[in-house]
Structure 1
Amino acid sequence: MAKKAKPLPSLDWLQPRLNASRLLSLLCYFALVLLLLVWDLVFADLHGARTWVILLIELAPLLILAPGLLLGNARAHAWLCFVVNLYFIKGVLAAFDPSRSVLGWSEALLSLVLFCTALLYTRWRFQYDRKLAGE
């Protein structure tokens, strides 16, 4: 026996949640990029490594997704959920090093909030689009 599909929420219910989750995900995204930039340029001891190489390696995954995030693309937010897990892992590992614990906890917290808000935006955006299509 087929299960009856759960009805989609109304557009009035979805619209403020879409706006809030997109705003929060963009804020956390830019805060994470800024945290990585400031840390590597000001505080990090790179042991002679070239700063621009380290920044390129750390920021490339995030910057690839930037155009889609700025346009509000739900698929870009979904991909961000996968990518941001790398930064969460990096943050947790750095949190246990006493010289980098502030960076680690900040990075882990920002990436966790970014994951949750991007995931919610993706879910609500697809529901919103389905509702607009007449489903």
Structure 2
Amino acid sequence: MARKNKPLPTLDWLEPRLRLSRWLSLALFVALIGLLGVWYLLLVDLHGARPWVILGVHLVPLAILAPGMLLGNARVHAWACYVLNLYFIQGVVTAFQPGRELFGWLEAGVSLALFCSALLYTRWRFQYDRKLAGE
């Protein structure tokens, strides 16, 4: 038995949601980078480790995603959802360490919000592209 496809939303409905989710994704992406930078360069005691090295390791996955996020590539937003799970897990684990609770919950919260906005952008972008193609 063939499954009936749901009709796609109208372009008028998709455009503002697409714009909002894209800008929210960009703002949260920059916020996550800023949060990591402030934490590792200014606030945390790394017990002699070089903060630039630690920060660099944490920023490599985000640096790989940055060009596609800035250009609004829906596939990169989808991949970002996978990568953001690492930051969410790190945030939750850090939240249970004494003296690091605030950073942990902030990192988990920002990564969760970025996950949701990137996921919505991906969904709505593909729906928008399908609608433009005449589907």
**Could you state the TM-score of these two structures normalised by the residue count of structure 1?**
0.98
Aligned-partner residue type, residue 46 of structure 1: L
Partner Cα distance (2:25, 2:98) in 1: 29
Q: Distance in 2 between matches of 1:86 and 1:12?
A: 35
Secondary structure of the structure 1 residue equivalent to 2:134: coil
Amino acid at match of 1:77: H
Q: Map 1:68-87 onto structure 2 (within 5 A).
A: 68-87=68-87
Equivalences for 1:37-116 in 2 at 5 Å? 37-116=37-116
Query: Counterpart of 1:81 in structure 2: which amino acid?
Result: C
Contact 2:77 2:122 in 1 (8 A): yes
CA distances 1:90-126 after superposition (whole Å, capped 9, x unpaired) = 0000111121101000000000000000000000000
Q: Which amino acid aligns with 1:16?
A: P
Counterpart-to-counterpart distance in 2, 1:92 and 1:86? 10
Unaligned runs of 5+ in 2: none
Measure how far apart 1:45 and its partner are: 1.0
State, as a whole percentage, how many aligned pairs show the same letter. Answer: 69
Q: CA deviation at 1:81?
A: 0.2
**TM-score calculated relative to the size of structure 2:** 0.98
Distance 2:75 2:35 in 1: 25
Q: Is contact 2:41–2:52 with CA below 8 Å preserved after alignment?
A: no
Structure 1, unmatched stretches of 5+, are none
CA offsets per residue over residues 13-45 of structure 1, 9 Å max, x none?
000000000111111110000000000011111
Which 4+ runs in 1 deviate beyond 2 A?
none
Q: What's 1:14 paired with?
A: 14
1:41-89 CA-to-partner distances (Å, cap 9, x unmatched) read 1111111111221011101101110000000000110010000000000
RMSD of the alignment, in Å?
Answer: 0.6
Whether the aligned pair in 1 keeps the contact of 2:91 and 2:108 (CA below 8 Å) is yes
Pairs aligned (count): 135
